[in-house]
């Protein structure tokens, strides 16, 4: 049984805390910290079966995080705060000799760009400290990495192509809202797209390539090619892959709102002068939009996220699709969250359990596909994200 420090108090954190509390055989005590302690208190008040403490912390400051670690003495720090804060939290874990886990890779606040290079640069320092950092233990990245490793282990001698597909076919009833942090979400989809082919990444204009994909239990949804960080780690650790792409669905109303916001400058991340002070337009827009954690109560419909792979097994062509379908309303009944938060939060808890039980061990910085996928696949299904398989059918 282990103590953990969880940093962040958004919709994903709500799921992580509740699922950790359910798994009391592994998680014995939690310190939940965020810049706004009242948000931590709101999550903690409903949870009775393990002790949960709350605190205020500025996660931009490694010394503040390190002080919390020294006081609480956790075995693991789970970072579900903002991606801007990843490096400061990793620095704190290094200073105090504690394992680290996050759900999204680092990106600098002043540039809409994300990649693993900044975190991979911590490899030798974490190795020397005798601790591990597990990067991207959400769904995509996270489960999508494990799905790919599982396919490689059991169904392929060689993987040729990988297509990660992410469909949210839900309806939250709002004119415009994002399913996770609006600032991060909008930065992600307004930057150029990118896909991997024949040993290199190829950039395309944002949202310029799209096609309908027929998702199980959902049906046809228009899907757009984006860059996503798991592509970078998967082609590094499974270098035989010749092509890797990531597809995500967006409704027309969402795209229309986004286009207007871009046209009028509301998605800018550079400061502008307003009434004698500087503001960041995207940060102001975030303040106007619904909190993603507030969308769950009236959310209907399903998500479908999976990996389609092609390649060779025993000298013959193989096509394989592994996926999860999650229902927004059922997620809310269980943990008061919508399915996008749920599909991220459950794997965070499971990834933490892999570390705390010693099922996954290592010294240094790791991505999910570097470990044995089988125990994770078993546990992620047990804790709320059952997976399904299809052979011979190509969706993309």
Q: How far apart are CA 278 and CA 273, in angstroms?
A: 5
**List of residues 6+ apart from 200 with CB closer than 8 A:** none
Of the CA atoms within 13 Å of residue 315, those in its CB half-sphere come to 0
Q: How far apart are CA 54 and CA 311, in angstroms?
A: 49
pTM recorded for the entire structure: 0.93
Q: Among 3.50.50.100, 3.30.360.10, 3.40.718.10, 3.20.20.70, what is the CATH number of 143-334+387-391? A: 3.30.360.10
Do 143-334+387-391 and 2-135 fall under one CATH topology?
A: no
Q: For residue 259, which of 172, 181, 189 has the smallest C-alpha distance?
A: 189
pLDDT in tens, 272-296: 888 888 888 777 877 777 776 666 5
Question: Could you tell me where the DSSP H helices lie in the chain?
Answer: 11-22, 37-44, 62-72, 86-96, 117-120, 123-129, 143-155, 182-190, 229-237, 252-263, 281-288, 328-335, 339-356, 373-382
Q: How far apart are CA 254 and CA 242, in angstroms?
A: 33
Q: For residue 50, which of 84, 4, 95, 94 has the smallest C-alpha distance?
A: 4
Q: For residue 347, which of 140, 91, 109, 97 has the smallest C-alpha distance?
A: 140
Q: 2-135: what CATH class?
A: alpha beta
Position 299 scores a pLDDT of: 79
Position 297 scores a pLDDT of: 67
Position 181 scores a pLDDT of: 66
pLDDT in tens, 54-92: 999 999 999 999 999 999 999 999 999 989 899 999 999
Position 289 scores a pLDDT of: 73
- Asked if the model's pLDDT at residue 252 lies above 80, the reply is no
Query: Residue ranges of the domains in the chain?
Result: 2-135, 143-334+387-391
pLDDT in tens, 322-331: 999 999 999 9
pLDDT in tens, 141-162: 999 999 999 999 999 999 999 9
Helix axes 37-44, 11-22, angle to 10 degrees: 40
C-alpha of 298 from chain center: 23
3-class secondary-structure state, position 100: strand
Alpha carbon distances (Å) from 333 to 172, 348, 353: 15, 20, 24
DSSP 148-212: HHHHHHHH-SEEEEEEEEEEE--B---SS--SS-HHHHHHHHHSPEEEEETTEEEEE-TT--EEE
- Compute the mean pLDDT over every residue in the chain, rounded to the nearest whole number: 92
Position 158 scores a pLDDT of: 98
Q: How confident is the model at residue 173 (pLDDT cuts 50, 70, 90)?
A: low
Burial annotation 152-168 (CB, 10 A radius, 16+ → b, else e): beebbeebebbbbbbbb
Q: How far apart are CA 144 and CA 166, in angstroms?
A: 10
Position 183 scores a pLDDT of: 67
Position 285 scores a pLDDT of: 75
Q: Which of 112-121, 122-131, 343-352 has the lowest mean pLDDT?
A: 112-121
pLDDT in tens, 34-51: 999 999 999 999 898 899
């Amino acid at each position: 049984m282990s103590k953990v420090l969880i940093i962040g108090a958004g919709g994903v954190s709500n799921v992580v805390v509740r699922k950790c509390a359910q798994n009391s055989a592994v998680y014995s005590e939690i310190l939940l910290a965020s810049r706004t302690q009242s948000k931590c208190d709101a999550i903690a008040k409903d949870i009775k079966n393990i002790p949960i403490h709350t605190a205020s912390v500025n996660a931009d400051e490694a010394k503040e995080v390190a002080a919390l670690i020294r006081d609480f003495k956790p075995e693991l720090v789970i970072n579900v705060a903002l991606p801007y804060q990843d490096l400061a939290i990793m620095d704190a874990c290094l200073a105090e000799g504690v394992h680290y886990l996050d759900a999204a890779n680092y990106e600098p606040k002043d540039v809409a760009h994300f990649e693993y290079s900044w975190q991979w640069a911590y490899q030798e320092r974490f190795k020397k400290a005798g601790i591990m950092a597990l990067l991207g233990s959400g769904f995509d990245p996270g489960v999508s990495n494990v799905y790919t490793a599982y396919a490689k282990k059991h169904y392929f001698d060689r993987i040729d192509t990988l297509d990660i597909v992410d469909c949210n076919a839900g309806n939250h009833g709002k004119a415009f809202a994002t399913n996770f942090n609006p600032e991060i979400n909008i930065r992600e989809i307004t930057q150029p797209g990118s896909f991997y082919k024949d040993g290199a990444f190829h950039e395309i204009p944002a949202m310029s390539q799209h096609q309908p994909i027929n998702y199980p239990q959902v049906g046809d949804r228009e899907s757009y090619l984006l860059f996503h960080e798991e592509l970078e780690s998967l082609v590094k650790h499974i270098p035989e892959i010749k092509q890797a792409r990531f597809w995500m669905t967006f409704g027309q109303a969402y795209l229309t709102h986004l286009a207007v916001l871009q046209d009028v400058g509301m998605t800018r991340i550079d400061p502008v002068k307003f009434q004698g002070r500087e503001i960041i337009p995207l940060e102001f827009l975030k303040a106007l939009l619904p909190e993603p954690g507030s969308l769950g109560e009236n959310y209907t419909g399903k998500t479908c996220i999976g990996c389609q792979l092609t390649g060779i097994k025993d000298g013959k062509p193989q096509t394989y699709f592994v996926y999860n379908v999650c229902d927004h309303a059922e997620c809310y009944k269980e943990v008061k969250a919508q399915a996008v938060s749920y599909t991220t939060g459950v794997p965070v808890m499971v990834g933490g359990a892999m570390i705390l039980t010693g099922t996954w061990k290592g010294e240094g910085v790791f991505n999910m596909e570097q470990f044995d996928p089988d125990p994770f696949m078993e546990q992620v299904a047990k804790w709320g994200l059952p997976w399904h398989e299809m052979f011979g059918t190509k969706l993309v």
